[in-house]
Structure 1
Amino acid sequence: MTELTIGTVLGEPEQAVQLDARRFNRHTFWCGQSGSGKTYALGVVLEQLLLRTELPMLILDPNSDFVHLPKTRDAASAEDAARLADIDIRVFHSSQRDGERLRARYIDMSTVSKAALLQLDPIKDAEEYNVLLHMEEHTDRLDTDHMLENLRASGDPGMVRLANRIDNLEVLGWDLWSRGEGAITQVIDERPRATVMDLGGFAHPNEPKVAALAVLEHLWARREERRPILIVIDEAHNLCSPNPRTDVERVLTEQLVQIAAEGRKFGLWLLLSTQRPTKIHPNVLSQCDNLALMRVNAPRDLAELADVFGFAGDKISRSQRFTQGQALFAGGFIEEPTYVQMGVRITEESGGDVRVPLREG
C-alpha cells in the first residue's frame, strides 16, 4: 500500500488528501512556527507510515513529543489499535524514568567525534590528539570506567595530559555512556519499525548532540548495506545550524550535510522539522524534495522557502493565514501542491502547551 491518508483538502472536508509513501525516499522539510500544530501534524504522518509501510524510522525527539507513539488513543479504531500493537516501536529515555535508557558507547565513536567532544585540535593539541588517534591500539585503555587510571599509569606525558583533559571536562560522568550495557546503535541495527530517542532529559547540553552524532555516524559508516531508514529530526535547528558554535555542533552538522547530499542512494532519508528554515544549514535545506508547510509569518522565512521550494509556486505565501492544523504539501510525495486540513492522531500526543493558571469563581 503506497497511499497515506493525512487529512482533507482545505475547505473540502469530503475530499481526502493522500501522500505517496514511495516518495519518502527523498528528503523532506517540515516547517511551522510555534502554535501551528506542527508536531501534532507530523505525528499524523508518522502514524500512517507505521500503519501503511514497512519503512523503519529513527526519531530524534528533543521535547519528548513522540514517547507515547506506541500508545493508541481511545478514539482510535479497533483495527488501527490492533495493527499498531503488533508494530515494533522502541522508546529510549534520557531522563530517570521507567523504560529503556538511551545509551551510546564512547569507544565506538570516530576519532574526529571524540576529538570534538574533548575540544582537541589536531595541530594545536597535536600530542594529545595523536594519543587519541592511536588509543584503539591499546584496548586495555578504552574501558570508560578505568580510562583515566590507565592513561595516567602509562607514564607517557601525552597520555597524562589527555587524561587530565578528559577529567577536567567531566565527559566520562555523562549518563549517556553505556558502560558495558547495550547501546542505541545496536538497536538501530536491528531495524525496529520505529526507534524513538528521547533527547530532552540529559543534564549536559552536549549530551543530546553527541547521542545524535553517535547514531548518525554509525548509520553513515554502514551505508553500503543499503538498509533504508527514515531519519526524523524534530526541532532540527538544534542539530543542523548554519552557524555551529562548538566543535560537536560542527561535526554533527557536517555529518548531516553529508547525509543530505549523498544519503539518498544508500537509503538514508531525512525528515527535518523546525520552526524556521533560516535556522537550518542551507546545504541540507537545498537537498529537500518534499515540503510540508504550516503557519509561518516571518517575511524572511517565507522568502527563503519560496527560493528553495520553487515547485510550490505562490502557494507558500498563504501560510501566513493558516490556522492551527492547516498545511501546504508540495513536492514528490503529492501530485500537486495542496492545502490540507490535517487529520486526527491515532496515538497519544505527549508534550503540549502548559495552561495558564486561572482563578476560580
Structure 2
Amino acid sequence: MTDQATHLGSIEDVEGARASVLLNEETNFGLSFVEGYGYRVGQIGSFVRIPLGYDDIFGVVSQVGARAAPQADEEIPSHGNKWMTVRFVGEAAQGEELTTGLSKYPTVGDDVHIVTKDELTRIYGEQNQSGQINIGTVVGSDQIPARVDLNKLVSRHAAILGSTGSGKSTTIAGLLHNLATSSAIESPRVLVLDIHGEYGAALRNSANVFTTNANSARHESELQIPYWALSFEELVDVAFGEIQGDRDRAALVEQVENKKKESFPEQDIQGIDQSDINVDTPIPFSIHKLWSELYKLVRSPHTESRDQSLNTVAYVTDEGGDPVDPGSVMNVRTPETRRHDQHAGVYVAKPDMNIGRQVDTLTYRLRDSRYDFLFRPGEWLPDENGAVERDLDELLESWVGHNSGISILDLSGIPSDILDTLVGALLRIVYNSLFWARNRAEGGKRRPLLVVLEEAHSYADDTGDGSAAESIQRIVKEGRKYGIGSMLVSQRPTEIDSTILSQCGTLFSMRMANSKDRASINSVVSDNMEGVLSSLPILQTGEAIIVGQGVKFPIRAQIDPPPADSRPESQDPPVISQDEGLGWNQEISNPEYDKVLEHWRKKDPNIPTDDTRGDE
C-alpha cells in the first residue's frame, strides 16, 4: 500500500490541540477504498494519521467544510469547503501502541492520511488483551470490536447518559449480559439499583433479583432492608419524619441507643461488647417495642399528672384490675385506655419529648404494608427482645457475594417519599461493609464491586443534598481506593450534581438533543473532545461516543444489544403492530379491568393467571 492511496491533504494551521487540514483537490467526501476496504472520508469522529518521521500522530475529525478553515482576515482560498478540523489525541512510534498526549506537534505542510483497518486495530488494541470486554463495534468499521477497560471502568467510575429512547437500558443489559457470560470473567460483582423494575425480567437467568413483590416462579427473592441496619438519621427520615428540636432529637437518640444496648445480650455478635455500641451501630433492636413505649409516653392518658412513666398509663381494666386490652406490640395495636378526666385522676400525656406527630407517623408506617420490606424484613425482623434469626452477613452475601455475581435490587415498589433515603442507606451499608473489610477476601480491594445507579438524576440532583447524594459523593471521591465503583445512568445529566458527574472517568454519551444536557457533558470532558461530542443529537439508537479512562481513545460505537430474551422492559409499546393483541389496529377482546385493578392494588405487573395461581 502506498502513502498516496491513503493521502487526504495537508495541515495548513495548528492551534493548541487542533489543526486545520486542507484536503487534496482529488479527495472526495464519501467512500474511499484502500486495499478492498471502504473508508468514509470526512466522518465526524473518524481518525486520521499524521506521519512525523518514525512516529505517527493520530487525531479525530471534529468538523468538516468551509467553517473548518482557519480564521483569517483575508478571504479563504478557492478550496472553499474542502477543509477538516482535526483534534489531536495521541501518538505512537512505528510498531508500538498508541499513547495519549503529544511529545511533538505537526506543522504546516505535514501530510494527513486515512487511518486503515490495520491502524484502527493498532489504535483500539488487539482482541486478546486481558482486562477488556467487548461492548459492540466501532461505527464505520464493523470488523473492529469496541472494547472498554474493566479496571478503569469500575475503579474510576462511569456514566451512561442519553435521552429517552437512546438505548441506555439496553446498553446496561448488554454489558451485564457480557459480564455474566464472558469466559474470561469467573465471578463478576455488580449491584444494580433498579428504580423502575426494568432489569428483573431481562436478567433473572443470570442475576439474583430482589423485589418487594417477589415470585418464586420468576426466580425472585424478597427485597429486605432491615431498619436496624440504617443510621440514626436515615431511621428518623423513614420512620418518624423530620424532628425539629435538638432536645427531642437527643432524647430519641438516647432511646434508640438504649434499645440497641438492651438487645445486645440477645445477639450472637462477635468482636464488640456493649460499650462499643452507639446509635449508628447496626445492632438489631425492636422498633415495635420502641413504638409501643413512645406511644404510651406521648399519646396515652396517665394516672399521674407529672409522672409520665409507662407504669402510669390509664388502662381500661377488668374487675381484677388487669388491662382489658394492653395493645399488641408486634401488631402495632394501641392499648385501650380511659378518657381524659382530671376529676377521675386521668391526665393528658405531657412528656418532655414533643414528638407526638412523629410517633403518629411511625404508627402509620409500621401498619402500612408498603413498608414491610423495611419494618417487617422476614428473618431479619427482631422480636420484642431484639433477637433475630439471621444477621446482616447473610443479607450482604446474597447481595454482593453470591455465585452469579450480579444482583438487581428492584426499588420500584418502594414509596417515593423515602426513596432518596433508602438509596443512600443501601449505598452506605455496602460501602461501609466493603471499606472496613477491605483487607479480607470479601472486601472491595480483593474483589471490587460495581454499583449501577439507574435514573441517577432522581436522587443525585444538582443540589447535592440528601442521603443518596452524600453516599454517591463518598463513593466517587473515595471508592477507587477501596474497590467500589459506580456507574450512573441518566437522561438528564444537567440535573446531576456536578461534583458527582465530574468524577466519572468514562462517559458513554448517547443521543441527546437538549443543548443544556450536552453542555453539562462538554463541561466534564477535555476541551479537545467537544467537537467529537457535537454529533450527539444525531446518533442512532444504540450508538454511543465513549470517552475517558475506560478507553484508550474516543470510540463511536454501536453497542451490541443482549439476546432478545434478555432485554429490559424499556422498549416503546407499539401504537400500530402486526402482532396479535398489540396496538391500536387490533380488535379489543375480553377486556378484564378487574385484573387491572388487582394489579394496581397489589402493585405487581406479573400476577399469574387463574390457571397458574396454584403453582406459586
Give the aligned partner of residue 262 of structure 1. 478
Give the aligned partner of residue 315 of structure 1. 532
Q: 2:228 aligns with which of 100, 104, 107?
A: 107
Q: Match of 2:494, SS? A: helix
Contact 2:209 2:221 in 1 (8 A): yes
Q: Which amino acid letter does the alignment assign opposite residue 431 of structure 2?
A: W
Of 174-183 and 301-310, the range deviating more from structure 2: 174-183
CA distance in 2, matches of 1:159, 1:102: 38
Contact 2:173 2:561 in 1 (8 A): no
Give the aligned partner of residue 327 of structure 1. 544
CA distance in 2, matches of 1:131, 1:190: 38
Of 125-134 and 145-154, the range deviating more from structure 2: 145-154
If the length of structure 1 is used for normalisation, what is the TM-score?
A: 0.85
CA displacement at 1:195 relative to structure 2: 1.2
Contact 1:152 1:159 in 2 (8 A): no
CA distance in 1, matches of 2:484, 2:458: 20
Q: Which amino acid letter does the alignment assign opposite residue 561 of structure 2?
A: V
Q: 2:188 aligns with which of 35, 40, 55?
A: 55
Give the aligned partner of residue 584 of structure 2. 358
Give the aligned partner of residue 197 of structure 1. 409
CA displacement at 1:240 relative to structure 2: 0.6
1:39 matched to 2:169? The reply is yes
CA distance in 1, matches of 2:466, 2:543: 34
Give the aligned partner of residue 514 of structure 2. 298
Q: Match of 2:373, SS? A: coil
Change (3 A) 1:158 1:286: farther
Q: Match of 2:523, SS? A: helix
CA displacement at 1:153 relative to structure 2: 4.2
* Structure having greater relative contact order (Cα 8 Å, sep ≥ 6): 1
CA distance in 1, matches of 2:229, 2:397: 11
Q: 1:5-60 CA deviation, whole Å, 9 max, x = no partner?
A: 11111122222111111212111011010011111012112222333433311100
Structure 1 unpaired stretches of 5+? 73-83
CA displacement at 1:185 relative to structure 2: 4.2
Change (3 A) 1:96 1:57: closer
CA distance in 2, matches of 1:280, 1:191: 32
CA displacement at 1:278 relative to structure 2: 0.7
Q: Match of 2:547, SS? A: strand
Q: Which amino acid letter does the alignment assign opposite residue 145 of structure 1?
A: H
Contact 2:511 2:544 in 1 (8 A): yes
1:243 matched to 2:440? The reply is no
Of 177-186 and 143-152, the range deviating more from structure 2: 177-186
Q: 1:307-337 CA deviation, whole Å, 9 max, x = no partner?
A: 1012634211111110111111111111100
Change (3 A) 1:360 1:114: closer
Q: Which amino acid letter does the alignment assign opposite residue 27 of structure 1?
A: H
CA distance in 1, matches of 2:176, 2:500: 21
Q: 1:144 aligns with which of 280, 287, 292?
A: 287
Q: Match of 2:288, SS? A: coil
Q: Match of 1:64, SS? A: coil
CA distance in 2, matches of 1:334, 1:113: 38
CA distance in 2, matches of 1:94, 1:33: 29
Q: Match of 2:145, SS? A: strand
Of 25-34 and 192-201, the range deviating more from structure 2: 192-201
CA distance in 1, matches of 2:162, 2:547: 14
Q: Which amino acid letter does the alignment assign opposite residue 147 of structure 2?
A: Q
Contact 1:200 1:208 in 2 (8 A): no
Change (3 A) 1:161 1:90: farther
Give the aligned partner of residue 454 of structure 2. 234
Q: 1:10 aligns with which of 123, 130, 139?
A: 139
Q: Which amino acid letter does the alignment assign opposite residue 213 of structure 1?
A: G
Change (3 A) 1:115 1:159: farther
Give the aligned partner of residue 181 of structure 1. 379
Contact 2:196 2:412 in 1 (8 A): yes
Q: 1:331-354 CA deviation, whole Å, 9 max, x = no partner?
A: 111110010111130461231222
Q: 1:226-250 CA deviation, whole Å, 9 max, x = no partner?
A: 3221010011111211136xxxx61
Contact 1:19 1:334 in 2 (8 A): yes
Give the aligned partner of residue 209 of structure 2. 91
CA displacement at 1:359 relative to structure 2: 2.4
Q: 2:359 aligns with which of 152, 158, 166?
A: 166
CA distance in 2, matches of 1:179, 1:3: 39
1:26 matched to 2:156? The reply is yes
Contact 2:460 2:468 in 1 (8 A): yes
CA displacement at 1:251 relative to structure 2: 2.0
Question: Larger radius of gyration, structure 1 or 2?
Answer: 2
CA RMSD of aligned residues (A): 2.5
CA distance in 1, matches of 2:249, 2:491: 38
If the length of structure 2 is used for normalisation, what is the TM-score?
A: 0.51
CA distance in 1, matches of 2:233, 2:192: 24
CA displacement at 1:189 relative to structure 2: 5.5
Q: Which amino acid letter does the alignment assign opposite residue 353 of structure 1?
A: D
CA distance in 2, matches of 1:207, 1:181: 23
CA displacement at 1:119 relative to structure 2: 3.1
CA distance in 1, matches of 2:449, 2:237: 26
Q: 1:132 aligns with which of 229, 239, 252?
A: 252
1:225 matched to 2:443? The reply is no
Structure 2 unpaired stretches of 5+? 1-129, 264-284, 298-307, 310-349, 381-391, 439-443, 576-582, 588-616
Contact 2:155 2:479 in 1 (8 A): no
Change (3 A) 1:238 1:344: same
Q: Which amino acid letter does the alignment assign opposite residue 107 of structure 1?
A: W
Q: 1:216-268 CA deviation, whole Å, 9 max, x = no partner?
A: 11123231323221010011111211136xxxx61221121122111211111
Change (3 A) 1:159 1:215: farther
Q: Which amino acid letter does the alignment assign opposite residue 290 of structure 2?
A: M
CA displacement at 1:159 relative to structure 2: 8.1
CA displacement at 1:69 relative to structure 2: 4.5
Q: 1:119 aligns with which of 241, 265, 269?
A: 241
CA displacement at 1:295 relative to structure 2: 0.1
Q: Which amino acid letter does the alignment assign opposite residue 315 of structure 1?
A: V
Q: Match of 1:323, SS? A: coil
